Structure 1
Amino acid sequence: MTHKKMADQQASHENTHVENTSGTAQRARLLERLRAGPIDTFTAIRELNIVRPGARINELRALGHKILTHRLDLTDDQGRKHPRIALYYLSTNPPAGVPV
């Protein structure tokens, strides 16, 4: 029996739709969003359907992406205040007012 190596499952536009919850699709969505600008944990959960954004960020860092974190206080959709929520951004695309 011959074992064929499966091709790398690269993220493509077809498998990055928010209903696709595979790690590959989540990383692709998050990286695409980071290229557009900073994103906080709440937004990643709500808009990108990523339940554990911090885990996907760590995976992207392990793949060599230079992602930085800034902590800020945010209020969630129910009006509750949360201290030190992560704001992620690419080192080449820092948010205004955040020291690099």
Structure 2
Amino acid sequence: MLDLLSDGKLHSTLEMRNEMFIMSPASRILELKAEGHNIITEDLPANPNNPDSAKIAWYKLVGKGQEKLFEVSRRY
């Protein structure tokens, strides 16, 4: 999961479940945070083309002080 997050893009809970077969991404994210990795989480629409779609967790690994740089546009 850390390799996936290291690419600088946003990754969703659904992506991690479907492509990496991680059934509880949130638990793994908490473990990585406990290890000191700076991962930010944001609840955003599952479908970026439909802002009314259900919200899911999106994750991004960022450097120190970059917490405010969470940009949805970097994923799409």
Same fold, judged at TM 0.5 (above): yes
Query: 1:96: Cα distance to partner?
Result: 3.3
Alignment identity in percent? 32
Q: Which amino acid aligns with 1:62?
A: A
Q: Which amino acid aligns with 1:32?
A: D
Residue equivalent to 1:71:
43
The CA distance in 2 between the partners of 1:47 and 1:39, in whole Å, is 11
SS of the residue corresponding to residue 33 of structure 1 reads helix
- TM normalised by structure 2 equals 0.71
Q: Which runs of 4+ in 1 moved over 4 A?
A: none
Alignment of 1:1-100 (within 5 A): 30-36=1-7, 37-75=9-47, 81-83=53-55, 85-92=56-63, 94-97=69-72
Ranges in structure 2 where 5+ consecutive residues have no aligned partner: 48-52
Higher relative CO (Cα under 8 Å, sequence separation at least 6) belongs to 2
**Number of residue pairs the alignment of both structures matches:** 63
The CA distance in 2 between the partners of 1:82 and 1:97, in whole Å, is 16
